[in-house]
Structure 1
Amino acid sequence: MSLEVNKLTGGYSSIPVLKNESFDVKDGELVSLIGLNGAGKSTTINHIMGLMTPFSGTIKVNGIQINEDVEKYKQEIAYVPEMPILYPELTLKEHIDTTIMAYNLNYASAWEKAHQLLKTFRLNNKLDWFPANFSKGMRQKVMIVCAFITNAKLFVIDEPFLGLDPLAVNDLLKIIENKKKMGASILMSTHVLDTAEKYCDRFVLLNDGKVNYEGTMTDIKQRYSNYGNSLNDIYLALARNDSHE
């Protein structure tokens, strides 16, 4: 089991944003975290990344809790944030070198992966460029390259499609599929529900910091058969009902 979130309660103050939240991501699985703005997706991700301390409950990545071994816990996770976070004083090459050192990767093997990814995302001739020279989409591709050269067990990807062109989206989905085949797991937060429905194995529907429902697309259609036939239709109907309660 790559990720186990068990009865997680947490937030930014004494008032919890997440309320007894439980779900998991199994080995070789792509799970989509879905919810309206304010539903708790970012707070959930921040807790998983170890950026916030839970009020109660546990989070395990590959069987490890962060308080047991901080360094090993974080090396089990690779993160692609919604807004790219790059060091302005480092070139693309230096970002990759820094990632290799942070994850204690084999240099030659990691660079072999990096060259393949750089070619895929059409960045292979930009190794000496600084972040100021990159568009938002290119900066996002740098984050993807740095994440996917690692041997992480869990990849956490936050809204990956919004800044990418259609070709890069297709490339990313192929990379995710390949990582799944290798046994890694992916937790993806996204509002692009049509793509999520097509590619994700399971879905965690969040509302007001709680797991509204967790299951496959078949499960969701059976549970909410009166709401529509697509994930988009079903989720919009659920969201409207919740907002009127």
Structure 2
Amino acid sequence: MVLTISHLVGGYSQIPVLKDISFDVQPGELVGLIGLNGAGKSTTINHIIGLLTPMKGTITLNDVTLAQDPQAYKAQIAYIPETPVLYEELTLKEHLEMTILAYGLDHAAAWERATELLKTFRLANKLDWFPANFSKGMKQKVMIVCAFMTNAKLFIIDEPFLGLDPLAVHDLLHLIATVKKRGAAVLMSTHVLDTAEKACDRFVLLHSGEVKTQGTFTEIKANYPDAGDSLNDIYLSLTGVTRDE
């Protein structure tokens, strides 16, 4: 077991956004966190990475909670936010060096991985560039490189497809498959349900801060045979949303 969320209640104020949600992410699998805007996806992620404190319930990473050992907990996570967060005064090379220091990585091995990733995302000749020189998609690729050069046990990826070109989406999905093979767990939130349907091993469907359903696509489809044939149709049916809304 990598990530376990048990009876989580939480949010940004006295009124909880998340209402007793429970799910897990196993080693070697990609779980899609699915939901409309306001469903609770970002709130869930912010609790997992430690930006929010649960009102009730527990979150554990390999049996460690944030309260028990903050350093050991956070060292297991690589996070790619929806909006890239880069330091304007640091070059791409300095961002990579900072990642190596933050995670305590072996310098030579980390740079070997980073070099391969830079080639994959066509950033190898931009080591001396500052964030101001990058497009939004390139900034997102920098975040991907920084995350996947680590030895994280849990990768959290928030809405990764919106700023990426089709080739970069293909490369990202290949990277996810690679870390899954070495036993890492991946939690990915996305609105791009057709891609998620093909890539994810399981799904957690959030609606109004609650887990509406979870399981493999085959299991969800079998449980709701009249909801539709695609993940998109099933989600719209379960949340009571029509295409005209």
Taking only aligned residues, the RMSD between alpha carbons, in angstroms, comes to: 0.9
* In the alignment, structure 1 residue 191 sits paired with structure 2 residue 191: yes
Alignment of 1:19-168 (within 5 A): 19-168=19-168
**Match in the other structure for 1:206:** 206
- Aligned partner letter, 1:36: L
1:133 maps to amino acid: N
1:175-232 deviation line (CA, Å, top 9, x unaligned): 0000000000100000000000001000000011111101000111111110111101
Question: C-alpha separation between the residues in 2 aligned to 1:227 and 1:233?
Answer: 7
The sequence identity of aligned pairs, in percent, is 68
> Residue type matched to 1:149 in 2?
M
Q: Is the 8 A contact 1:34 1:203 kept in 2?
A: yes
Query: In the alignment, what sits opposite 2:173?
Result: 173
Give structure 1 regions of 4+ aligned residues with deviation exceeding 6 angstroms. Answer: none
**TM superposition shift of 1:240:** 2.5
Amino acid at match of 1:9: V
Partner of 2:225: 225
Partner SS state of residue 116, structure 1: helix
Note if contact 1:36-1:239 (Cα within 8 Å) is conserved in structure 2: no
Residue 21 of structure 1 contacts residue 210 of structure 1 at CA under 8 Å; is this kept in 2? yes
Tell whether the 8 Å contact from 1:91 to 1:130 is kept in structure 2 after alignment.
Answer: yes
- Give the partner amino acid of 2:193: L
What is the total number of aligned residue pairs between the two structures? Answer: 242
Compute the TM-score of the two structures, normalised by the length of structure 2: 0.97
Distance 2:221 2:124 in 1: 43
Give the deviation of 1:238 after TM superposition: 1.8
SS of residue in 1 equivalent to 2:240: helix
Q: Counterparts of 1:190 and 1:61 in 2: how far apart (Å)? A: 22
Find the counterpart in structure 2 of residue 7 from structure 1.
7
The SS at the match of 2:204 is strand
CA distance in 1: counterparts of 2:193 and 2:218, whole angstroms: 15
> Which residue in the other structure is 1:215 paired with?
215
**C-alpha distance in 2, partners of 1:94/1:71?**
22
**Structure 2 unaligned regions, length at least 5:** none
Secondary structure (helix, strand or coil) at the match of 1:110 reads helix
Structure 2 contact 32–202 (Cα < 8 Å) conserved: yes
The question of whether the paired residues in 2 share the 8 Å contact of 1:34 and 1:204 is answered with yes
The normalised TM-score by structure 1 is 0.97
Alpha-carbon distance in 1 for matches of 2:2, 2:219: 22
